[in-house]
Amino acid sequence: MKGMSTDKGKAQDKVLQRLQKLRETIERHRYLYHVLDKEEISPEALDSLKHELVEIETAYPELITPDSPSQRVAGKPLPEFKKIKHKVTQWSFNDAFTEEDILAFDARVKKVLTATVPAATNLVEIEYVAEPKIDGLKIVLEYEKGRLKTAATRGDGTVGEDVTVNVRTIESVPLVLTEPVDIIVEGEVWMAKSNLKRLNALRAKSGEPLFANPRNVAAGSIRQLDPKIAASRKLDVFIYDIAWLGGVGEVGGGGGMGGAISPLTQFDELKLLQKLGFKVNLHFKHCKNIQVVVAFWKDWEARREKEDYSLDGVVVKVDKLAFQEALGFTGKAPRFAIAFKFAAEQVTTVVEAIELQIGRIGTLTPVAHLRPVLVAGSTVSRATLHNEDEIKRLDVRVGDTVIIQKAGDVIPDIVKVITEMRTVGKNDELVQKPYVFPTHVAACGDGGRIERIPGQVAYRCVNKNSLAQFKRKLYHFVSKKAFNMDGLGPKIIDALIEYNLIASYEDIFDLKKGDLVDLPRFGEKSVENILASINNAREISLARFLVSLSISQLGEETAIDLANHFKGIDAIRAASKEELEALNGVGPVVAGSVFHWFRDAANKKIVDRLLKQVIVEDGTPYSSATFSAPPGVSGKNFAGKTFAISGSLEAMSRDEAKDKIRERGCKIVSSISKNTGFLVVGSEPGSKYDEALKFGVRIVDEKEFFGMLKDMLK
């Protein structure tokens, strides 16, 4: 393909270059992950790279080579352990990431069976067995006459590592089976999330680095040369497959042995494993067709955080073992099974551009425009880069392949650049050039001048009245945290500005039906809903009113503190800088910002005009529509305590949880310190969890948190 001068040839050259970079990068990280138990990028990010590789090789099958990562199972075993040659080759699964992928798998299964099994000619539905896919370390156990003989890691699929001594320390691994059978089984070694928390708490006290995830601990523990360390980690195991049965051969070949009956289906195989004394994940399900499989996958994606083990998907297998035998294997994976992965929290993609976004107070935030990619169940095409220093720290460049992460936020973060994927152009120079922060930004207006904010890493527009900044302020003004005008999203606000219907906050309250009904894409019903939402917002708490004004440095919690202390907007407007700064939780920077904002002539007019349109309820903090504290309740048992929240809660939103905490006389903090009282953790907690361990802050889960809420009313 090299040397071709046509556009097609150039495109193929780029594909070949991308393919080679993918193979080199995947091979390196596969070796780190599977052999050395080191994780420079997450398993999900590695899956994303492999998925792209398979897509390219599918489109260009002539480029597939025997040494491609897509044709391999795993890495080589560590030299420190005795090697064991597997009696049954160990395969890995192909992956499905979407409903379309799993339906395509079902179609392939039916096609092969129709062509190879006479009885399957009129096949309409295939029955499957689905079970949660544990994110642990694969283990292969061999028993002779019902007694554990060896335990080995998967290794490269042909040769593994002898870890028998360590596996014998796992209580859930039977040393003697209920039947004196010869059998080889496969399973997954894992560590409970609760055990990881316990272990990390001990390591934090002794000043040791914390473990990142249960999978790494399980893999590292099984590879410890001292079995006492493995025993102390309290590992667990699930067995999910019979690879070989004495007197039968590989399962699916018929016959029988000892007192055990050879199973005819995958479902019966799991039952037999239980009968022999193995620990099997009890959540496996017989699925009469692929639609039931999809429902099972959706159910487990929603509930996976409730389990004490880590899950990264669902394993799907054709139920009839005779069908499994007929389907057979490809070069690296079974045709009768697939790993149906959950939506990844981390994936890889390419940075196509870096642009600056102007915030409501003029702050310039660099945003990476990405090649669209599916992450955490939604397609994203942008990621925040925060500021110039973050760009330099990551060394992110246009054209880079990056890892993005989405953990609860609408816009994801770039967490790492995969520098191995950079390419060399003419004169042996990298194609990906460092990003240079501009000195002028046209959207700022007034010549586009920008300046670094004193004492911060961020830049802002010198001109405080640019159109872009004004739009951002209006978006915030109508948002849920401020006036909560449902239906007035950014597109509606942009249209109202474009047609010269609003030029200030108060203009929103003067809108009439006749102003809107004739605008493009404004239906009569939607206009009525918008106007109703505006009218419903004419009464607002003092705290929300303060938040709506986009005062620099003033956040939700400080606005609540100001409202509770000063009780009215006039008192806040008249307060001196010293009076503001004397309030607990309000430092000199915030006090100065609030003081000067209310003394600016233009801002005075903004407030005066707004007060003619709305009623500000004196001293009323943010309130929850779903909870009202009984009269006279002060929350005295917990008064003055501080709470932080990390992760997603199931029974309520984080804003609702904050409301309930405030209503009980407690405070919310956004960061962890030794003075923090409690950290409430939901699913996927972030760095606050590690900080809480470091400072010895009490960590409570959602269930315990609800109990505390009730106690606060006693």
Residues with catalytic function: 133
Residue 714 to residue 695: CA distance in whole angstroms: 29
Q: CA torsion sign, 131 to 134 to 139 to 145?
A: negative
Structure tokens at 364: 């310039």
DSSP for residue 130: E
Q: How far apart are CA 41 and CA 391, in angstroms?
A: 19
| Residue 154: both structure tokens together | 């998967």
Which residues, in sequence order, are bridge partners of residue 413?
Answer: 384, 405
Tokens of residue 538, six digits:
């004419």
Cα 649 to its chain centre, rounded Å, is: 14
* Torsion sign across C-alpha atoms 423, 426, 428, 431: negative
Name residues whose C-beta falls within 8 Å of residue 519's C-beta, 6 or more positions apart in sequence. 495, 499
**Long-range contact set of residues 468-476: C-beta below 8 Å, sequence gap at least 24:** 468/358, 468/443, 468/444, 469/358, 469/359, 469/360, 469/361, 469/362, 469/444, 470/497, 471/497, 472/358, 472/359, 472/360, 473/360, 473/361, 473/550, 474/502, 474/505, 474/508, 475/360, 476/360, 476/548, 476/550
Q: Distance between CA 497 and CA 469 in Å, rounded?
A: 13
Crossing angle (nearest 10°) for helices 43-59 and 7-30:
150
Enter the tokens of residue 112. Answer: 């092969």
The gap from C-alpha 279 to its chain's centroid, in whole angstroms, comes to 30
Residues in the chain: 714
CB neighbour class for 306 (10 Å; exposed up to 12, middle 13-18, buried from 19)? exposed
Q: Provide the 3-class DSSP secondary structure of residue 468.
A: helix
CA of 615: how far to CAs of 90, 546, 548, in Å? 70, 13, 14
d(CA 649, CA 702): 7
- One-letter amino acid for residue 311 of the chain: L
3-class SS at 334? strand
Contact 145, 257 (CB under 8 A): no
Place of tokens 């004169």: 427
82 C-beta neighbours (distance < 10 Å), count: 11
